[in-house]
Amino acid sequence: MPTTSTSRSRGYNRDEYGIVDIKTSMYRYSDEPYILVKGAEPVFYVNLVKKLGWSSVVAMRPRNLFAMPDEEN
């Protein structure tokens, strides 16, 4: 059974693959211009062709950043 989370009244939708779509015409925090650094992630938005006014949120990794294992040989 797919695990989807839909909250269209709040302006987002998450599908079974973990892809988050947001409604770009709805502003959730218009009076909160600042965020904490530890809560920030680099993302970009892809406009959806089939759902006008919606965008997919795609997380990205900066170049030359590698997830190295903690153990040493």
| pLDDT score for 64 | 72
| pLDDT score for 1 | 45
pLDDT by 10-residue block (mean), the chain, 73 residues: 58 87 77 80 89 89 73 68
Decide if 53 contacts 25 (C-beta within 8 A).
yes
pTM over 0.85? The answer is: no
Torsion of CA 42, 47, 50, 51, to 10 degrees: 80
How far is it, in rounded angstroms, from Cα 34 to Cα 9? 24
Q: For residue 57, which of 68, 65, 48, 70 has the smallest C-alpha distance?
A: 48
